[in-house]
Amino acid sequence: MSRTVTGVSDPITTEVVRNALDTIAEEMGVALRRTSLSVVVKDMRDYSCAVFDVRGDLVASALDLPSLLASMAPALRACIDKWDGEVYPGDVFLSNHPYLGACQTNDVNIFVPVFDGNETLVGFTGSIAHHADMGGRTPGTAAASSESAFEEGVMLPALKYIERGVVDRNVRDILVANVRHPRQNLGDLRAEIAACESGARRFRGLVAKYGTVVVQGAIDDLLAHTSLRTAREVGRLPDGVYRAEGYLDNDGIELDAPVRMCVAVTIAGERITFDFTGSDPQMRGGMNIPNSTLRSVVHYAVKCLMPPGVPFNEGSLDPVEIVAPAGTVVNPTFPAAVGDRHLASQRLASIVTRALADTAPDRSSAEWFVGWPVLICESRSPKSGDVAVLLANVAGGAGGNDRQDGVSAADVHMANCVLIPAEVIESNYSLRVEQYSLIPDSGGAGRHRGGLGLRADYRNLSSDPLPFLSEAEQTNPRFPPTGAFGGGSGMVGSLMLLDVQGNEHPLPCKGKGVARPGEVISLRAGGGGGYGPVSERPAESVARDVAAGYITAQAAAALYGVTAAGVAP
């Protein structure tokens, strides 16, 4: 796509408008978090907010979850295409259809059109939030074992939820009739709408201050400048073809059959092409990556190549081409299941960034753990008596890099969710959080050690058995987070059930289970890979790690040759 600087807005005004729009998106996120009802949105922070121009191009965003941001523009454009000429003040659009621009049914998009004082459309505000349940065959909706999009809850294809200020009761009733806990869904939906409407008010105020022509000119110039800067930064990278591949543990159904994904990144001048040809055919299970999520992977990878000052908007995709054969794991055809696409897209982000490592070694690292162990269950609140779905995940370790050790317990790459506080879980569900703790020795050894994975144990306090779904990726020892430049691999993840005597029973990496009263469900994330030769890690750094509990004395001796006698607190 070719963009031209209009010059309607002077550079200073364009920068003021840019920062104002960024602030609007950030304030929308705060409003959404504070007014939402579910633990998933309020405490886990599984949402994003953004501002768009009249074409549906992403202009400004709060960098909450990159996996959601780049998927919002295709979902909005599906609404614009469907309702062309019928967009009015007071309208609110709703969409979660994964084959109409959205990414999974749980992630519900809300868009509010913004008009100036003359009722001329000047843009849109948008929010996307993960609703804990959208119906379907499994509580929580998304499951790797799903075999069709029709098993993944109610699909809402670019609808008007509100038209000229009036809620469409038919749409509301369809939603209520198809979800397990409608009060929770409607609460989060109202929060999304409130966030978008608050952003729309601020957007209208910005237009009133500077004028429609100036603001739209500033937006056009912002996108054009971003496009130009991105192209120039790509042009500074060495031309060539850079390849990488990796494997998912399985497709969610055949648990002993790995799934291959690969990419060839071609840099030619100021153009960059991501070609996913050669990736396996679409999976039978529910981890296929829809087009909008693939777009997010690429947008994230491009952002990683850019200096910090290059904005994150639609212009940064102009120098980019994506090749993804239809019917593959990275571009499935309807009605392939996609609800658990996050597990696969995180692995794909790792593959793509590994392919790009040689283009910018100073920004590369060892591999990060991307397995995202998660617990999904329905449980009753001991405080209110309400039943709701819990979605709780734990984070792994980032890979070490040339400057420092990897970060521990980080929701890596395109994710940015927060660990739900133990107090919140214990007051909303019949569960007790027995521990949140880092796992010693889980990070790969190296000059700069990989970050550690996190362990979370949840005890069933109910007097009844608790059915649950637990899932994780990167549990296969064949596919650990690999080290770089001589560093060691990080630990893979695992899922365990602890009986009342404390005996551990391994759980399958993806599947349903039942925790009897008093039993514990244990999620264990892996660690990041190490960076650089183990021999180059200073003994005092090893000593500090042992003193802090990051590595054991046995590992210090075996991996680094530092004995207990040589380890000082």
Q: Which helix (H) or strand (E) holds 130?
A: strand 121-130
211: left (phi over 0), alpha (psi -120 to 50) or beta: left
**178 part of a folded domain:** yes
Q: pTM of the full predicted structure?
A: 0.94
Q: Which of 190, 189, 154 is nearest to 174 (CA)?
A: 154
**309 part of a folded domain:** no
Which pLDDT belongs to residue 362?
80
**249 part of a folded domain:** no
- Positive or negative, the CA dihedral 37, 42, 44, 50 is positive
Q: Which of 288, 43, 39 is nearest to 142 (CA)?
A: 288
Which pLDDT belongs to residue 568?
44
Q: Which residues pair with 68 in a beta bridge?
A: none
**114 part of a folded domain:** yes
Inter-residue contact 392 to 375 (CB < 8 Å): yes
Inter-residue contact 178 to 153 (CB < 8 Å): yes
Which pLDDT belongs to residue 473?
96
Residues 215 and 66 in one domain: yes
Domain total for the chain?
2
Whole-angstrom Cα distance, residue 25 to residue 62?
5
Which pLDDT belongs to residue 133?
95
DSSP 88-127: -TT-EEEE--TTTT-S-TTEEEEEEEEE-TT--EEEEEEE
Residues near 425 by beta carbon (within 8 Å), at least 6 away in sequence: 39, 390, 392, 431, 433, 458
Q: Which helix (H) or strand (E) holds 69?
A: helix 66-82
**337 part of a folded domain:** no
Q: Which of 530, 469, 457, 529 is nearest to 499 (CA)?
A: 457
**71 part of a folded domain:** yes
Give me the tens of pLDDT residue by residue for the chain, a chain 569 residues long. 668 888 888 899 999 999 999 999 999 999 999 999 999 999 999 999 999 999 999 999 987 777 777 789 999 999 999 999 999 999 999 999 999 999 999 999 999 999 999 999 999 999 999 999 999 999 999 999 999 999 999 999 999 999 999 999 999 999 999 999 999 999 999 999 999 999 999 999 999 999 999 999 999 999 999 999 999 999 999 999 999 999 999 999 999 999 999 999 999 999 999 999 999 999 999 999 999 999 999 999 999 889 888 888 999 999 999 999 999 999 999 999 999 999 999 999 999 999 998 888 888 899 999 999 999 999 998 888 889 999 999 999 999 999 999 999 999 888 888 999 999 999 999 999 999 999 999 999 999 999 999 999 999 999 999 999 999 999 999 999 999 999 999 999 999 999 999 999 999 999 999 999 999 999 999 999 999 999 999 999 999 999 999 999 999 999 999 885 555 44
**398 part of a folded domain:** yes
Give residue 504's domain range. 365-537
**269 part of a folded domain:** no
Whole-angstrom Cα distance, residue 337 to residue 343?
13
Domain end, chosen from 228, 252, 283, is at 228
Domain end, chosen from 167, 194, 228, is at 228
- Helix pair angle (291-305, 341-356), 10° resolution: 30
What is the number of other CB atoms lying within 10 angstroms of the CB of residue 418?
A: 13
Domain end, chosen from 199, 228, 257, is at 228
Q: Which of 157, 154, 156, 149 is nearest to 82 (CA)?
A: 157
